[in-house]
A and B are shown apart, each in its own frame.
Chain A
Amino acid sequence: MAKGEIVLGCLAPHPPHVVYAENPEQNEAFSEGGWETLRWGYNRLARKLKTIDYDAMVIFTPHWQTYIGTHFLGLPEFKSKSVDPVFPNIFRFNYDISVDVDLAEKMCEVAGEFGIVTKMMRNPDFRIDYGTITSCHMLNPDWDKPLVTISSNRNAHYYSAEVMNEQASALGEACARAIEESGKKVVLISSHSLSHRHFVTESPLPEDMSREHIYNHSQYVWDMKLVDLMRSGKMREVIDIMPEFTEQTIAETEGGGLTWMMAAMRYPNYPAEIYGYQSVIGTGNLIAAWDPMEATREIVL
């Protein structure tokens, strides 16, 4: 069997607003649009994914929060409705997803060998979180690839952002080995915003773009610092400053997603493809991708 490989890594923020703005038939709410910079960036990255040969998407989501280890979805199908607990007015999504259970079990097994506390989730009533659904829908609206969803263990809450960085790195290395041993071609998805301070009020029309801006300039400057490093291919440096960035901007990187993905991809030293940056209800959201194949790597923006 050929060694498995990571064919693309995607930073894919999950504000439900972007799904709401797309008006897919699965979502009950209706919008007049909005957040085009993000959505068009997502659309372009989704087109690139259509050109890539892969077997499964592996997504690390901060909205399945676990405190007792790292959990993996462990049943082949989940069909239900996901309602965002924070923005139920815009996200009530009927989903029908398939899971690559073999790959999930392999990751769970190898992570256990790395000393990471793990658990397979096999309750059929479990509801899939809106982070998983938003990122996966925007990257693959046809939903024609199986997923592996990995919970985010909240080490940043229990210990510190430094411990989160260490633990997420270990998990990334374990997942990379599991992928290699599986023989599969995999797309990794790190589902989160960068800076993550929200406005606590919402305009009567959520998609009123005249009201949308970053929460404050400090958040923006930090976000741009990371974008610059990503453009320069300095992902080791990004992960090194991750604790500081996370604390300064109360960033959603606290869940460990970007650290996990970069560790799994051996900290790329090539430029990230930048697909778009825009605020959503004050938070900073970047769509980016890391393509290990130099021949297909692009300068997008």
Chain B
Amino acid sequence: MTEPEILFGIYCPPHPQPLLSPEASDGYGKLRDAYETCRKRIEESEADLILVYSTTWPSIIGHQIQAHPEPEWVHVDDDFHFLGSMPYKFRMDVEFADAFKNAAESRGLQSRTIEYDGFPIDTGSVVALKLLNPDNRIPACIVSSNMYANRAETIVLGKSARDAIQEQGKKAVVVVVSSLSNRMFTEHIDPSEDRIHSAKDDEWNRKILEFFDDGRLEDLSQLSREIHGQIRVQKVVAYKPAWWMSATMGQHNNYTGEVLAYEALHGSGGAVVILTPASESVGDKEFDEDDVEHYHGDRGVLDKGML
């Protein structure tokens, strides 16, 4: 069976500053330039689908997939509303969204497509699509991040995306919208004085970026639990983006990594990275967690082994 055609992957931050105020600091400007590099790279590719996994679109009822053909609204961020509004009109690949939903269900996941006028597309997805695909030249698809999902469910979701890309014969660019460290300053700051919240966050971010630079995506996926404990604010159960990205892109370390920018976004770590499939693998790690093909739901251990 042929492999799904994933041209490359992009990891980018969800904050609105690179879109709304790139001039406010050198760092925001560098992130904006990095987005611009990604935009050109997409334009020069033969991609016919941009598939976005956004950590700022939480879901509860399984995994939601945007399927409105032309979602249109004026979005305002909850925290950074004073930076301005984000009008958008996107072009979605409805056929792919349906295929993705079906693939997810085939692997045991709860999933549904969303196609309502006025549905609130999240800040991260809006920022990414407006900067990476400003003219809607390529149709997109966005999938939510279920707040209760952990490793098995997220990996199976990635494999479902892969199934759908293969089944549809798409040439896809995979986009993950997520911070690295995600602790922001809890006060308003002068953007020109923005910095990573702590030295610890900065050290971990740089270690993650070393892995990205070496193309070690599967190694990052395997380190997700450690990353969550070390530098992620405990809003959700786990740091999931590397799980999903690696599962979608094939669960290996065979990539050419390019770290285009790494800057602070109100204290959090924002990086723009491109991973392009290559032929040589790196890494020296061995892992013992199961690879999961099908999601079976909760294991129901509470009522077992009772006296």
Contacts and interface: CB of A to CB of B under 8 A. Distances in A.
Nearest to A63: B78
A201 B85 contact: no
Residue with the highest number of chain A CB atoms closer than 10 Å, among B60, B75, B184? B60
Interface stretch (B39-47, B111-119, B167-175, B280-288): B111-119
Interface in B145-195: 146, 148, 183-188
A67 B184 contact: yes
B110 A69 contact: no
A193 to B, nearest CB: 13
B186 A69 contact: yes
B interface residue count range (under 10 / 10 to 19 / 20 to 34 / 35 or more): 35 or more
Contacts of A158: 183, 186, 233
Nearest to A197: B148
Nearest to A283: B60
Contacts of B85: 123, 125
Contacts of A281: 60
6 contacts: A68-B187, A69-B188, A86-B58, A119-B188, A121-B82, A153-B186
Given A86-B60, A157-B234, A200-B148, A123 B76 contact: yes
A83 interface: yes
A200 B187 contact: no
Nearest to B63: A200
A65 interface: yes
Residue with the highest number of chain B CB atoms closer than 10 Å, among A67, A69, A119? A67
A266 interface: no
Main secondary structure of the interface of A (DSSP, over half): loop
B61 interface: yes
A6 B233 CA distance: 35
Interface in B120-153: 120, 122, 146, 148
B110 A201 contact: yes
Given A65-B78, A67-B79, 4 more contacts: A81-B117, A123-B84, A126-B81, A200-B61
A154 interface: yes
A154 B68 CA distance: 31
B116 A64 contact: no
Nearest to A87: B61
A151 B80 CA distance: 13
Contacts of B58: 85-86
Interface string A59-85: 000001111110100000000010101
A112 to B, nearest CB: 12
A3 interface: no
Interface in A104-163: 117, 119, 121-123, 125-127, 151, 153-154, 157-158
Residue with the highest number of chain B CB atoms closer than 10 Å, among A65, A71, A123, A158? A123
Given A69-B186, A157-B233, A121 B81 contact: yes
Given A68-B188, A158-B233, A201-B61, A83 B120 contact: yes
Interface string A91-110: 01000000000000000000
A85 B57 contact: yes
Contacts of A117: 186-188
A101 to B, nearest CB: 15
A282 to B, nearest CB: 10
A83 B59 contact: no
Nearest to B62: A200
B292 interface: no
Contacts of A85: 57-59, 119-120, 122
Given A125-B76, A200-B60, A83 B118 contact: yes
B81 A123 contact: yes
Interface string A162-205: 00000000000000000000000000000000000010111000
A122 B116 CA distance: 27
A88 interface: yes
B246 to A, nearest CB: 23
B79 A66 contact: yes
A81 B118 contact: yes
Contacts of A69: 186-188
B190 to A, nearest CB: 13
A151 B148 contact: no
B61 A127 contact: no
